[in-house]
Structure 1
Amino acid sequence: MDVTGKSLKRILLSLAVFCILITGPGIACAEEATTQEKEILFSDYFKSMMDMAQDKYKGEITEKQMLEGALKGIFSTMDSYTVYYTVEESQDFFTDINGSYTGIGVVMSEVDGKIVIDKVYPSSPAEEAGIKKGDVIAQVDGKSVENLSLEEVAGLIKGPSGTKVVIGVLRNGTDGVIELEVTRRQIIINPVTHKIEGDIGYIKLESFNSNASKAMEEALKQMDKNNIKKIILDLRDNPGGDVGQAVSIARKFVKKGLITKLDFKSESQKDEEYYSYLEELKYKLVVLVNENSASASEILAGAIQDTGSGILVGTTTFGKGKVQNLYPILTPEAVEKYRKETGETFVNGYDLLEKHGIYPSDEEIIGWVKITTGEYYTPNGRMIDGVGLEPDVYVENEPEGKYKILEGVEKLRKVTKPSLNAQSEDVLNAEKILSALGYDVDTPDNLMDEKTVKAVAEFQRDCGLYSYGVLDFATQQALNDKLDELLLVKNRDKQYEKAVELLEN
């Protein structure tokens, strides 16, 4: 979401609604100084510190940069959920909440200094252009991205809707850079995927962005159309989001009664209680949770558990029982301007909007603050911050990182017999398999060095093969067999299997 390029009036309207939904009313009274003397003392002190910094610092720095640094410092002294965002930094946050942005439709991560495509959204420009999960970005518009950070690469890829960008990727199994032209456009992030297996429906909810409830409705329509009454709702690795979306979804699964209560510190914010009006449960429900199910996920899962509307399967959840409000912060010039106009001091743009109906301009907003303002309780009055929800049925899956090295691995081709100092893709794949099996090969590469030869010899001995460190065809076949076994374990979802078992029985 481009904050600076759109009307702040529209943003404030939409976010005012969002803040009410996520954490209660986003309005507080104008700031009150305890005494005029203290206000003057603090103001003079802060101004003197900025003057001293500008006088002594041998470098270039603006008053705005110092002010933003001070704001970051103030809010960083609070809990880890309280954050000050500059206008530029806030764009990513708004993208997560709004569920839309202008781009090509990929999720990227930085792995060992390389920018890797983790996900390609269905029907996105990236998918249409041929970009695939696992691709490594090498170039953007002909410019090498070597030594660039994830944020810098993302900045090169971003651009206005309708414009084109050429992404150069490296792909396993191909030689050289593949150049793919992509046309940027608005991307609507659908956080819901679903499938039907037999008489059981599976719904994966990745986040509670502004599209979540509508997407869930569409998924449930498909379930109803196919007469599905047994559902697995997957909240694993869901970090949360808009509480309003969580409440809306809860009303589709939770029996009539309290869903959650939000308790705020400030007297200016009324505590909120949200209810379900579902007279009769429509589905037999199992909810999958893990240590990364947090916040709004825990509100939904906690309501389902406390009301007996379903069974929780997996591991203990994250334990985020706090709620935050989002506030636009006025620039010092805007604070002074509106003090003269209203006779009151406002630093929070929502205060100005609520009390006087005034919408600050884009230029009058220096940044945004996401601040913890309260906590939530489950229907049974549990406050799970730092504790999490214990599942009804505890089931652990294999740690994801254990098999991450197998991503993109291919079976050995049995064409050559690599030995010491040989270089090939078969060597790389052999090293990945050996590493996953626990043999010491350092970081897998294409080179059959002495350490790899030693690991191959150990593997051969363990398998009853002739132990001499050469990747002969018998050894390659043994490694391929082990890869099949590893992938079965890697891809086995014991939590999902338990959910199916519970629904079938």
Structure 2
Amino acid sequence: MNVTGKSLKRVLLSLVIFCILISGVGIAYAEEVEIEDKGISYSDYFKGIFDMAEDRYKGEVTRKQMIEGALKGIFDTMDSYTVYYTMEEAQAFFTDINGSYTGIGVVMSEVDGKILIDRVYSSSPAEEAGIKSGDVIVEVDGKSIENFSLDEVAGLIKGPKGTKVVIGVLRDGADKIIKFEVTRREIILNPVTYKIDGDIGYIKLEMFNSNASKAMEEALRQMDKKNITKIILDLRDNPGGDVNQAVSIARMFVKNGLITKLDFKSESQIDEVYYSNLKELKYKLAVLVNEWSASASEILAGAIQDTASGTLVGSKTFGKGKVQNLYPILTPEAVEKYEKETGEIFVNGYELMGKYGIYPSDDEVIGWLKITTGEYYTPNGRMIDGVGLEPDIYVENSPEGKYKVLEGIKKLRKVTKPSLNTESEDVLNAESILAVLGYDVGTPDNLMDEKTVRAVAQFQKDCGLYSYGVLDFATQQALNDKLDELILMKDRDSQYEKAVELLKN
């Protein structure tokens, strides 16, 4: 995806992520600032550094690479939300925010050196071709992707709209490659999924991309058709996105009044205040949040909490109260070119567009800067950066790590009755179950040592069984029953269950 030239104009008019149209706001003009009052300008200083590197470095490096390295270094000194993106990095970022891209419609991950299909989007070319979640990609257009990185495989799969790509996969551990011819087309990323459970509607919002508010409107239309007035809004693991999208969605749930205030550092950037005009609450609302609910998610959740428009359920949120803007950074050649045309120095392409209506071409933008420009406040004036939102009802979901070991545990066979110094697979499984339950067995190791005997005896006592430390059949059955309970607990969503209970009362 090109993000400059004509598309830069589109970005200016319709993307403008995280807050508002720039209206002339951006990075300060380059200045001739003296270093230690010795008459050496920063521009001369850095030119000297680049010249020295080119003269002394025995290796291959271009001035563009050095400039990009310098830019990354400068902005790495700021907070973790301020990032300089190369053009390639910016394309991936824009895909997330724009909510669309040209491709086949899959989400991939790299696991143990294999490229795995994590998700296939509904109605996508990949789904229509027959590709499934869990497939392992081994070929692209007949070329083996062994030892390829995830980015390299993604690059092979990407291509112009209407072109075809052949994906070779292994399915369910089979040795035979299955090949699918897929036609690339525009993929719309819908961040909203929903379902109706009895008289309660559940809406999951994954991120605030440019499709979020329209997708939320559609989900609520479906709820209204079924006369659903009790809603669970799931913002867990939602990293945020476009503030405008968050505000639009807030206006669907937050009663009349302030939603958020954005306070910017630059005097040239006007602070923004957003309101809802919703006169009457339409839904009884429970909002699920956790430690990865951040940024725009916290704007929405904070507005709902402060205005008593719903109840937050879950764990404390991430705590990102800062706002970022995105700016195209011009190449040195473009800066020099437009200085001659305008008599002014611009490094921020938006300033050039805003003041003179000049849209730089693709090759005149070296990269993009996402920089923290301000902070936001909840309706009650809370600034939650580094603090987060405390839920109204705290419910901790069971940590995945605790139950991950369950994947390899088998039920005890009830064939023998292991006792002290017995070695067997049943002992290993018994020790593993006891460890998850919190009994001290050391490291599960097949051996029924004294520590395991004591743990078995304590388990027997807790279960009302004869406590003597032998894995008899009754004890094995009790451990098998506990394993079944643990597996059920692993699949339970206690935060969701609490929200359902809240809405039913």
Smaller-chain TM-score bracket: 0.7 to 0.9
What amino acid does structure 2 have at the position aligned with 1:164?
A: V
**Structure 1 equivalent of residue 367 of structure 2:** 367
**SS of alignment partner, residue 22 of structure 1:** coil
**SS of alignment partner, residue 379 of structure 2:** coil
Deviation per residue, 1:290-319 (Å, 9 max, x gap)? 000000000000000000000000000000
Deviation at 1:477, TM superposition (A): 9.7
Identify the match of residue 25 of structure 1 among 14, 22, 25. 22
What amino acid does structure 2 have at the position aligned with 1:150?
A: L
- Distance in structure 1 (CA, Å) of the matches to 2:106 and 2:483: 29
What amino acid does structure 2 have at the position aligned with 1:211?
A: N
Deviation at 1:108, TM superposition (A): 2.1
* Contact 2:29–2:346 (8 Å) recurs in 1: no
Change (3 A) 1:252 1:36: closer
- Distance in structure 2 (CA, Å) of the matches to 1:437 and 1:134: 32
Q: Which has the larger radius of gyration?
A: 2
Change (3 A) 1:367 1:20: closer
Deviation at 1:468, TM superposition (A): 13
Gapped regions of structure 2 (runs ≥ 5): 414-424, 437-443, 461-468
* Contact 2:22–2:350 (8 Å) recurs in 1: no
Deviation at 1:405, TM superposition (A): 5.9
Deviation at 1:231, TM superposition (A): 0.3
Change (3 A) 1:468 1:404: same
Deviation at 1:106, TM superposition (A): 1.8
What amino acid does structure 2 have at the position aligned with 1:168?
A: V
- Distance in structure 1 (CA, Å) of the matches to 2:361 and 2:40: 27
Change (3 A) 1:437 1:339: farther
Alignment map for 1:325-340 (pairs within 5 Å):
325-340=325-340
* Contact 1:142–1:168 (8 Å) recurs in 2: no
Deviation at 1:478, TM superposition (A): 9.4
* Contact 1:26–1:327 (8 Å) recurs in 2: no
Deviation at 1:105, TM superposition (A): 1.7
Deviation at 1:228, TM superposition (A): 0.4
Deviation at 1:35, TM superposition (A): 5.1
Change (3 A) 1:284 1:432: farther
**Structure 1 equivalent of residue 192 of structure 2:** 192
**Structure 2 equivalent of residue 233 of structure 1:** 233
- Distance in structure 2 (CA, Å) of the matches to 1:110 and 1:432: 30
- Distance in structure 2 (CA, Å) of the matches to 1:435 and 1:156: 43
**Structure 2 equivalent of residue 400 of structure 1:** 400
Change (3 A) 1:34 1:500: same
**Structure 1 equivalent of residue 175 of structure 2:** 176
- Distance in structure 2 (CA, Å) of the matches to 1:204 and 1:185: 26
Deviation at 1:3, TM superposition (A): 1.7
Q: Does 1:11 align with 2:8?
A: yes
Q: Could you tell me the TM-score, scaled by structure 2's length? A: 0.84
**Structure 1 equivalent of residue 254 of structure 2:** 254
Change (3 A) 1:194 1:411: farther
Alignment map for 1:25-424 (pairs within 5 Å):
25=22, 27-28=24-25, 31-32=28-29, 41-161=41-161, 162-171=163-172, 174-183=173-182, 184-404=184-404
**SS of alignment partner, residue 251 of structure 1:** helix
**SS of alignment partner, residue 252 of structure 1:** helix
Q: Could you tell me the TM-score, scaled by structure 1's length? A: 0.84
Deviation per residue, 1:329-371 (Å, 9 max, x gap)? 0000000000000000000000000110000000100000000
- Distance in structure 1 (CA, Å) of the matches to 2:141 and 2:429: 32
* Contact 1:231–1:285 (8 Å) recurs in 2: yes
- Distance in structure 2 (CA, Å) of the matches to 1:231 and 1:96: 26
Deviation at 1:55, TM superposition (A): 1.2
**Structure 1 equivalent of residue 501 of structure 2:** 501
**SS of alignment partner, residue 252 of structure 2:** coil
* Contact 2:330–2:349 (8 Å) recurs in 1: yes
- Distance in structure 2 (CA, Å) of the matches to 1:104 and 1:476: 50
Deviation per residue, 1:214-260 (Å, 9 max, x gap)? 00000000000000010000000000000000000000000000000
* Contact 2:428–2:447 (8 Å) recurs in 1: no
* Contact 1:120–1:127 (8 Å) recurs in 2: yes
- Distance in structure 2 (CA, Å) of the matches to 1:203 and 1:491: 19
Change (3 A) 1:113 1:20: closer
Deviation per residue, 1:63-84 (Å, 9 max, x gap)? 1111111111111111000000
* Contact 1:236–1:293 (8 Å) recurs in 2: yes
Deviation per residue, 1:130-172 (Å, 9 max, x gap)? 333333333333444343322222222222233122132342x
* Contact 2:231–2:286 (8 Å) recurs in 1: yes
* Contact 1:104–1:182 (8 Å) recurs in 2: no
Gapped regions of structure 1 (runs ≥ 5): 415-426, 440-450
**SS of alignment partner, residue 108 of structure 1:** strand
- Distance in structure 2 (CA, Å) of the matches to 1:287 and 1:396: 14
What amino acid does structure 1 have at the position aligned with 2:68?
A: E
Change (3 A) 1:123 1:80: same
- Distance in structure 1 (CA, Å) of the matches to 2:131 and 2:448: 35
- Distance in structure 1 (CA, Å) of the matches to 2:152 and 2:98: 23
Identity rate, percent: 70
* Contact 2:157–2:165 (8 Å) recurs in 1: no
- Distance in structure 1 (CA, Å) of the matches to 2:171 and 2:433: 23
**SS of alignment partner, residue 41 of structure 2:** helix
**Structure 2 equivalent of residue 423 of structure 1:** none
CA RMSD of aligned residues (A): 3.6
- Distance in structure 1 (CA, Å) of the matches to 2:84 and 2:53: 22
* Contact 1:138–1:144 (8 Å) recurs in 2: yes
- Distance in structure 2 (CA, Å) of the matches to 1:79 and 1:436: 44
Change (3 A) 1:478 1:23: farther
* Contact 2:17–2:242 (8 Å) recurs in 1: no
Number of residues of Structure 1 aligned to a counterpart in Structure 2: 475
Change (3 A) 1:30 1:325: closer
What amino acid does structure 2 have at the position aligned with 1:180?
A: K
**Structure 1 equivalent of residue 417 of structure 2:** none
**Structure 2 equivalent of residue 448 of structure 1:** none
**SS of alignment partner, residue 269 of structure 2:** coil
**SS of alignment partner, residue 500 of structure 1:** helix
